[in-house]
Amino acid sequence: MASELHLHLDGSMRIGTLVELARFGGISLPSYDAKELLSQIKFKQGMTQEECLAAFATTLSVMQTEYAISRIAYEICEDNWNRGINHVEIRYCPFLHQGKGLGIEAIVGAVQRGISLAEKNCGIRACQIFGALRHDTAERSEELAGIASYYHKEKPDYKVAGFDLCCAEANNPPWKHDKAFMIAQEAGLKITVHAGEVPGSLDYLRYAICAMKADRIGHGTLLIEDERLIQTAKRLGTTIECCVTSNVHTGIIKDLTEHPAKRLFDAGVRIAFCADNSLLSQTTMERELRIAMHVLGFTKEDLEKCLKYSDEARFLK
Ligand SMILES: [Zn+2]
Q: Quick check: 49 pLDDT over 80?
A: no
- What is the tens place of the pLDDT at every residue in 262-302? 999 999 999 999 999 999 999 999 999 999 999 999 999 99
- Ligand 1 mean position, distance from CA 265 (Å): 20
Residues 245-249: contacts with CB within 8 Å, 24+ apart? 245/275, 245/276, 245/281, 245/282, 245/283, 245/287, 245/288, 245/291, 246/43, 246/219, 246/275, 246/276, 246/277, 246/281, 246/283, 247/197, 247/219, 247/221, 248/45, 249/43, 249/44, 249/45, 249/47, 249/281
**Domain coordinates in residue numbering, the chain:** 2-312
Q: Quick check: 52 pLDDT over 90?
A: no
Q: Quick check: 219 pLDDT over 90?
A: yes
- What is the tens place of the pLDDT at every residue in 222-250? 999 999 999 999 999 999 999 999 999 99
- Ligand 1 mean position, distance from CA 175 (Å): 19
Q: What is the mean pLDDT of the chain?
A: 97
| pLDDT at 151 (0 to 100) | 98
Instruction: State the catalytic residue, choosing from 142, 197, 241, 288.
Output: 197
Burial call 151-180: b when 16+ CB within 10 Å, e when fewer: bbeeeeebbbbbbbbbbbbeebebebbbeb
Band (pLDDT 50/70/90 cuts) for residue 46 is confident
| pLDDT at 209 (0 to 100) | 98
| pLDDT at 111 (0 to 100) | 98
- Ligand 1 mean position, distance from CA 240 (Å): 12
- What is the tens place of the pLDDT at every residue in 158-181? 999 999 999 888 899 999 999 999
Q: How many Å apart are CA 209 and CA 97, to the nearest integer?
A: 30
Band (pLDDT 50/70/90 cuts) for residue 47 is confident
- Ligand 1 mean position, distance from CA 91 (Å): 8
| pLDDT at 169 (0 to 100) | 87
Q: What is the pLDDT averaged over residues 103-112?
A: 98
Band (pLDDT 50/70/90 cuts) for residue 144 is very high
> What dotted CATH number matches 2-312?
3.20.20.140
Q: Is 312 a catalytic residue?
A: no
- Ligand 1 mean position, distance from CA 277 (Å): 7
Q: What is the pLDDT averaged over residues 68-73?
A: 98
- pTM metric for this prediction: 0.97
